[in-house]
Amino acid sequence: MKFFIDTADLDEIQEASEMGVLNGVTTNPSLMKIAAERAGQSLDFHEHIARICDMVPGDVSAEVTAVDFDGIMAQGRALAAIRDNVVVKVPLILDGIKAINALAQEGIRSNCTLCFSPTQALLAAKAGAAYISPFLGRVDDISSEGMNLLQEIIHIYENYGYTTEVLAASIRHPMHVLQSALLGAHVATMPLGVIKKLLKHPLTDIGLAKFLGDWDTFKQNQAG
Ligand code: E4P
């Protein structure tokens, strides 16, 4: 399973990158807004995406803000020209599906975002999206079951051998990661806080404290 970090904050990307488990980055307009606020300065979108691409060897999703075909195509081409590892994030709307298909014919990879139903995901795969991003947490937020959506998408893609990678998005906690991995999602994108929570276990902390305490005793006994 590939791990992407869901942020546009360079410090967070650097921290996750240093763990050695990072395979890519997903950004969106909201995450760009947060990154600029934290940095306390305006950020040039294309320059910022270039900086992220230079920090991470894997795919970096950069989202278009146009909602018409021509606008999505123009923004998509410009984003794809930044670096080879840019993936153009396109919303799951009619003109978005058309653009995903046209971008694919130009060799430009897309991440189809804001997916909330398996039939939307089927359209994205048929259009040639490189990634489909079902938003698990936002489905849970409206008292529905995000994991059912993920399971159905994976099932449908396996039925027909679609090569579109399933990118579990809007992940809020480690159980989302565990369940996505059990279902076979190709990628999970998550905030830095969730990545860190994956390694926590109280028995690890208790066990380590015991080992270190016993080691101190052992060393004292040897010296004595
Ligand atoms: C990633 O591609 C999505 O934009 C992101 O996971 C959305 O997460 P949120 O629902 O926590 O905003």
d(CA 64, CA 198): 31
Please pick, among 2, 33, 89, 200, the residue that the annotation labels catalytic. Answer: 89
For position 224, what pLDDT does the model report?
77
> Ligand 1 pocket: which residues have CB below 6 Å?
6, 26, 28, 113, 133, 135, 137-138, 169-170, 189
d(CA 1, CA 185): 7
Intervals of the chain under pLDDT 70: none
For position 189, what pLDDT does the model report?
98
List 165's β-bridge partners, or say none: 131
Best residue among 28, 114, 136 to mutate for probing ligand 1's pocket (most ligand atoms within 8 Å of CB) is 28
- 116-145: b or e for each residue (b if 16 or more CB lie within 10 Å)? bebebbbbbbebbbbbbbbbbeebbeeeee
* Residue pLDDT, tens place only, 82-122: 999 999 999 999 999 999 999 999 999 999 999 999 999 99
Parallel/antiparallel/unpaired status of strands 86-91 and 187-190: unpaired
Q: Six-digit token pair at 79? A: 């984003």
For helices 45-55 and 69-80, the axis angle rounded to 10 degrees is 50
For position 61, what pLDDT does the model report?
98
Distance 204 CA to ligand 1 centre (A): 30
User: What's the predicted TM-score (pTM) here?
Assistant: 0.96
Comparing CA positions, the residue from 6, 29, 123 lying closest to residue 112 is: 123
Helix then strand count (H, E) for the chain reads 11, 8
For helices 118-127 and 94-105, the axis angle rounded to 10 degrees is 30
List 4's β-bridge partners, or say none: 24, 189
